[in-house]
């Protein structure tokens, strides 16, 4: 009898502790992830912005790309067109749902494109430019409170719930007062730190937040790093004709 | 003892004051220090300095996106003109591509069975390849564009041609017209594309991404969401009446993640063709397939007795395959099977077809896919031990006559502008087969070959 009680108490202890961990210090982890997704996913407006991607590798010239990005998150549509360097102007890719196309100006063909690939050999992933989908792709594995600079933060370790994301595990530092991500560490399946992402500045438009500067450090290759700067942000409506392959073909050289 | 403890503390303190080794990651001081270092432009120096984190200056307020007067609703170049600005250019753009290489090939038409045969029965060829594309791209308005591309190659007198020359006109940003000589790509397959009934040249299997020559045509394109409808009027210098024009039309539908195309094409002296295409990505894989029904044959058919006859039979051709890529492993693979309904079985020999092509009775295209059953396997490692070293393998097989060609190569990008590559070729099949024949179009090497190529100064401008 005593043994059964002990087992029951043990089970209650194990399963009862889980929500306690999740809700420790009053932090609602689901709400944090939901807020991050809402900040970075623009459901009620189209989005246009110019991105500058500066990539550095030891012993190589600094690579600079400028790209214009169009997003319609409500329909899961995304278009990136390269503006600089001039040699690559007009190249880009269109993503709709889980399908992406890039247009090859040499063969004049549309190739299937992977959103989780890296952008132009930089440390940035193509998915870094799309909407945030933490709730769909990750579950919170652990949680703690901490401090980053002068900000109180929640530190969440997230485990991927599917294999469509670039990294199976990621750790995020989230401001406690507004749930903005300040720092992110991405890990491989073997729990090796792959890259560190720092986001020191944001732009706010109503309930939306856009990282205006992102610093990405390659933790595998010493000295490799990428800076992404965003400007000319607009939430004005974009015509439907922009989000089709004809437009991608027309802007191409 | 006390003295030892003091020395120990001093050493520890000294060690902690040593500058951190540069790991590519900001140090604690840089991250959480006293503010950005104004003496450096390095954005990584202090991204989380107290100046930023001490206040909400890290957030720039753009206003309400639904307020027409706010910056968020369309200020700067990110506003309403952002999408049309990409279609307009004040300057006429001139650009192109140049390709230069020296290559040397050592080959054997028969497998060398001894050292003597290896050293004495081989042949060698040296070649210089020099070619360039030059294009002009003018975009005076968002609804008008002119584009022309000229290609030249050594020897220039016989290798210069206009590859593309067309104008684009847009009607109310919804109907798109293109008139002129243009590249047309209907297929979705990699190496063989039976659905591509408009291109004037077949895919170069060893360089499948190479642009193919297209006809002079009027193309009308109507995108409807992510679906697309195209219609073509196709002509060439022989067209003198309306009846000589070729007609083609295609509808492409997108049902995430499946792309499905349906098309039809007809031109006088060419068979009526119905085609369909299918493509679907799934994770690291992309599957593709094409089908074509031809009512008749464009050229005459060679019979087993050696005669040429007109042929109005109905033929089905189809292909299917997949592409796999693993970006972490830097690996990719293409696999494709092609069934060619018009292909010949073993009752007709390759050499007899070759003779008819030499006589001008049959077009050279019949030699690029002679049999009925074909497969191609292509493997690539874009990074092998070092980011500048890559490896590839290509196996082409014709199963109707059991012949084929295997090639494996290594490429080294010595520096930008200079690349070296080496390839080993192994051909098989009897002397009257698609790859084994001494006159095989798809095997220019023989039974065994080694090539070394230096790419010099190739690139785009």
SS3 helix, strand, coil % of chain A, rounded to 5? 25, 45, 30
Q: Does B51 touch chain A (CB under 8 A)?
A: no
Mean pLDDT value across residues A102-122? 74
The whole-angstrom distance between B339's CA and the closest CA on chain A is 23
Mean pLDDT value across residues A92-103? 86
DSSP symbol at B436: T
Q: Dig out the tokens for B238 from the structure.
A: 């022989």
Mean of pLDDT over chain B = 85
Question: What is the rounded CA–CA span in Å between residue B13 and residue A143?
Answer: 33
Interface test with B, best of A99, A105, A189, A211 (most B CBs within 10 A): A99
Residue recorded with tokens 């005593």 = A2
Give the tens place of pLDDT for each residue, B210-259: 888 999 999 999 999 889 999 999 988 778 888 889 999 999 999 988 99
10 Å Cβ neighbour count for B138? 15
Q: What angle do CA A133, A138, A139 make, to 5 degrees?
A: 135
Question: What is the rounded CA–CA span in Å between residue B132 and residue B134?
Answer: 7
Q: Contact A233/B257, CB-based, under 8 Å?
A: no
Please name the member of A70, A233, A243 whose beta carbon is closest to the beta carbon of B72: A233
- Specify the 3-state DSSP secondary structure of B240: coil
Q: Torsions phi, psi of A216, nearest 5?
A: -120, 125
Q: Does A250 touch chain B (CB under 8 A)?
A: yes
Q: Contact B281/A87, CB-based, under 8 Å?
A: no
Mean pLDDT value across residues A191-215? 93
> With contact defined as beta carbons under 8 Å apart, do B437 and B445 qualify?
no
Question: What is the rounded CA–CA span in Å between residue A126 and residue A96?
Answer: 13
Q: Dig out the tokens for B350 from the structure.
A: 């390759």
CATH number of B96-460: 2.40.160.10
Please give the pLDDT value at position B257: 87
The whole-angstrom distance between B17's CA and the closest CA on chain A is 21
pLDDT of B16 above 60: no
Q: Contact B44/A97, CB-based, under 8 Å?
A: no
Q: Does B278 touch chain A (CB under 8 A)?
A: no
Write the CA distances from A222 to A123, B19, B22, integer angstroms: 12, 17, 8
Q: Does B141 touch chain A (CB under 8 A)?
A: no
Please give the pLDDT value at position B10: 44
Q: Could you report the predicted ipTM of this complex, rounded to two decimals?
A: 0.76
Give the tens place of pLDDT for each residue, B91-104: 999 999 999 999 99
Question: Omega before A85 cis (within 30°)?
Answer: yes
Terminal Cα-to-Cα distance of chain B (whole angstroms): 73
Q: Does domain A29-251 have CATH number 2.60.120.10?
A: no
- Specify the 3-state DSSP secondary structure of A247: helix
pLDDT of A10 above 70: no
Domain boundaries, chain A: 29-251
Within 8 A of B58 by CB-CB distance, chain A residues are: 200-202
Within 8 A of A109 by CB-CB distance, chain B residues are: 185, 209
Give the tens place of pLDDT for each residue, A137-178: 899 999 999 998 888 999 999 999 987 788 899 999 999 988
pLDDT of B123 above 90: yes
pLDDT of B77 above 50: no
For A:2-21, CB contacts with B below 8 A are none
For B:237-276, CB contacts with A below 8 A are 254, 256-257, 259
10 Å Cβ neighbour count for A105? 15
* Residue among B452, B439, B408, B412 nearest B106 (CA): B452
Please name the member of A81, A219, A244 whose beta carbon is closest to the beta carbon of B86: A81
Question: What is the rounded CA–CA span in Å between residue B175 and residue B166?
Answer: 16
Mean pLDDT value across residues A206-228? 92
Please give the pLDDT value at position B66: 80
Give the tens place of pLDDT for each residue, B126-140: 999 999 999 999 999
Please give the pLDDT value at position B442: 87
Please give the pLDDT value at position A18: 40
The whole-angstrom distance between B420's CA and the closest CA on chain A is 20
User: Which distant-in-sequence residues (6+ apart) come within 8 Å of B416 by Cβ?
Assistant: B459
DSSP codes of every residue in A52-89: EEEEE-TTSPPEEEEEEEEEEGGGTEEEEEEEESGGGT
Mean pLDDT value across residues A71-77? 92
Residue B75 confidence class, pLDDT cut points 50, 70, 90: low
Question: What is the rounded CA–CA span in Å between residue A198 and residue A128?
Answer: 12
> With contact defined as beta carbons under 8 Å apart, do A107 and B213 qualify?
no
Mean pLDDT value across residues A50-54? 93
Q: Contact A203/B173, CB-based, under 8 Å?
A: no
Interface test with A, best of B22, B50, B72, B326 (most A CBs within 10 A): B72
Q: Contact A96/B226, CB-based, under 8 Å?
A: yes
Residue A8 confidence class, pLDDT cut points 50, 70, 90: low
Please give the pLDDT value at position A13: 45
Domain boundaries, chain B: 2-67, 96-460
Within 8 A of B193 by CB-CB distance, chain A residues are: none
> With contact defined as beta carbons under 8 Å apart, do B451 and B105 qualify?
yes
Residue A99 confidence class, pLDDT cut points 50, 70, 90: confident
The whole-angstrom distance between A251's CA and the closest CA on chain B is 6
Q: Does B279 touch chain A (CB under 8 A)?
A: yes
What length is written for chain B? 461
> With contact defined as beta carbons under 8 Å apart, do B111 and B448 qualify?
yes
Question: What is the rounded CA–CA span in Å between residue A103 and residue A91?
Answer: 7
pLDDT of B389 above 80: yes
- Tell me which of B438 and A181 has the higher pLDDT: A181
Please give the pLDDT value at position B44: 52
Please give the pLDDT value at position A88: 85
- Tell me which of A189 and B68 has the higher pLDDT: A189
Residue A119 confidence class, pLDDT cut points 50, 70, 90: confident
Question: What is the rounded CA–CA span in Å between residue A45 and residue A74?
Answer: 8
Please give the pLDDT value at position B70: 79
> With contact defined as beta carbons under 8 Å apart, do A219 and A210 qualify?
no
Question: To the nearest whole percent, how much of chain A has pLDDT over 90?
Answer: 43
Q: Which helix (H) or strand (E) holds B32?
A: helix B28-32
Count of CB pairs separated by less than 8 Å, A with B: 207
pLDDT of B39 above 80: no
> With contact defined as beta carbons under 8 Å apart, do B197 and B147 qualify?
no
Q: Does A63 touch chain B (CB under 8 A)?
A: no
Question: What is the rounded CA–CA span in Å between residue B154 and residue B160?
Answer: 9
Please give the pLDDT value at position B158: 87
* Residue among B152, B100, B156, B163 nearest B130 (CA): B100
B398, burial (CB in 10 Å: exposed 0-12, middle 13-18, buried 19+): buried
Please give the pLDDT value at position B46: 52
Please give the pLDDT value at position B92: 94
Mean pLDDT value across residues B79-85? 75
Please give the pLDDT value at position B45: 53
Give the tens place of pLDDT for each residue, B412-441: 999 888 999 999 999 999 988 899 888 888
Q: Torsions phi, psi of A41, nearest 5?
A: -120, 120
Q: Dig out the tokens for B16 from the structure.
A: 């902690």
Q: Contact A245/B226, CB-based, under 8 Å?
A: yes
Question: What is the rounded CA–CA span in Å between residue B384 and residue B411?
Answer: 10
Q: Contact B210/A90, CB-based, under 8 Å?
A: no
Please give the pLDDT value at position A84: 87
For A:164-203, CB contacts with B below 8 A are 164, 180, 182-183, 196, 198, 200-203
Please give the pLDDT value at position A137: 87
């Amino acid at each position: 009898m005593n043994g059964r009680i002990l087992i029951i108490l043990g089970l209650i202890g194990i399963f009862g502790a889980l929500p306690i961990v999740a809700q420790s210090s009053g932090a609602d982890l689901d709400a944090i992830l939901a807020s991050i997704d809402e900040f970075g996913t623009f459901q009620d407006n189209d989005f246009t912005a110019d991105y500058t991607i500066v990539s550095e590798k030891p012993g190589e010239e600094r690579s600079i790309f400028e790209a214009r990005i169009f997003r319609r998150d409500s329909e899961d549509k995304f278009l990136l067109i390269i503006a600089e360097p001039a040699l690559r102007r007009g190249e880009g890719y269109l993503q709709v749902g889980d399908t992406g196309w890039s247009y090859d100006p040499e063969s004049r063909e549309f190739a299937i494109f992977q959103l989780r690939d890296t952008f132009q050999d930089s440390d940035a992933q193509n998915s870094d430019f799309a909407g945030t989908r933490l709730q769909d792709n990750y579950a919170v594995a652990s949680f703690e409170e901490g401090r980053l600079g002068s900000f109180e933060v929640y530190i969440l370790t997230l485990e991927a719930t599917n294999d469509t994301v670039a990294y199976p595990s990621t750790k995020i530092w989230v401001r406690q007062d507004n749930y903005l991500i300040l720092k992110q560490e991405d890990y491989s399946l073997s729990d090796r730190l792959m890259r560190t992402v720092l986001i020191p500045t944001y732009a706010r438009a109503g309930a939306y937040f856009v990282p205006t500067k992102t610093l990405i450090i390659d933790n595998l290759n010493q000295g490799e790093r990428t800076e992404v700067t965003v400007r000319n942000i607009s939430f004005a409506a974009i015509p439907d004709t922009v989000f089709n392959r004809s437009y991608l073909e027309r802007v191409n050289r | 003892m006390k003295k030892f403890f003091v020395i120990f503390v001093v050493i520890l303190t000294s060690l902690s004051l040593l500058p951190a080794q540069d790991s590519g990651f900001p140090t604690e001081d840089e991250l959480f220090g006293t503010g950005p270092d104004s003496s450096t432009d390095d954005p990584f120096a202090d991204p989380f300095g107290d100046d930023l984190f001490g206040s909400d200056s890290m957030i720039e307020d753009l206003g309400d996106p639904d307020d027409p007067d706010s910056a968020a609703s369309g200020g700067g170049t990110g506003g309403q003109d952002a999408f049309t600005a990409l279609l307009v250019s004040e300057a006429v753009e001139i650009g192109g591509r140049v390709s230069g290489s020296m290559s040397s090939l050592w080959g054997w038409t028969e497998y060398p069975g001894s050292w003597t045969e290896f050293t004495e029965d081989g042949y060698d060829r040296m070649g210089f390849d020099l070619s360039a594309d030059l294009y002009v791209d003018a975009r005076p308005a968002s609804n008008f564009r002119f584009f022309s591309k000229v290609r030249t190659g050594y020897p220039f007198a016989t290798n210069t041609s206009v590859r593309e020359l067309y104008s684009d006109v847009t009607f109310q940003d919804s109907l798109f017209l293109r008139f002129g000589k243009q590249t047309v790509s209907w297929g979705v397959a990699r190496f063989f594309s039976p659905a591509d009934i408009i291109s004037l040249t077949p895919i170069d299997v060893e360089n499948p991404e190479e642009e193919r020559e297209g006809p002079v045509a009027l193309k009308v394109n109507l995108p409807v969401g992510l679906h697309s409808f195209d219609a073509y009027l196709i002509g060439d210098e022989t067209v003198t009446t309306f009846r000589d024009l070729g007609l083609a039309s295609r509808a492409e539908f997108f049902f995430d993640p499946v792309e499905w195309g349906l098309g039809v094409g007809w031109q006088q002296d060419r068979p009526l063709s119905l085609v369909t295409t299918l493509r679907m990505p799934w994770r690291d894989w992309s599957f593709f397939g094409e089908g074509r029904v031809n009512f008749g044959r464009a050229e005459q058919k060679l019979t087993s007795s050696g005669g040429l006859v007109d042929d109005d039979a109905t033929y089905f051709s189809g292909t299917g395959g997949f592409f796999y890529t693993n970006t972490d492993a830097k690996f990719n693979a293409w696999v494709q099977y092609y069934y060619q309904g018009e292909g010949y079985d073993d009752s007709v020999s390759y050499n007899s077809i070759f003779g008819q092509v030499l006589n001008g009775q049959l077009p050279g295209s019949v030699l690029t896919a002679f049999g009925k059953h074909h497969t191609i396997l292509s493997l690539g490692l874009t990074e092998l031990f070092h980011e500048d070293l890559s490896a590839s393998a290509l196996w082409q097989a014709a199963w109707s006559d059991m012949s084929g060609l295997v090639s494996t190569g290594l490429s080294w990008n010595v520096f930008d502008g200079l690349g070296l590559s080496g390839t080993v070729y192994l051909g098989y099949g009897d002397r009257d087969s698609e790859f084994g024949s001494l006159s095989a179009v798809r095997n220019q090497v023989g039974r065994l070959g080694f090539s070394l190529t230096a790419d010099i100064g190739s690139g785009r401008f």
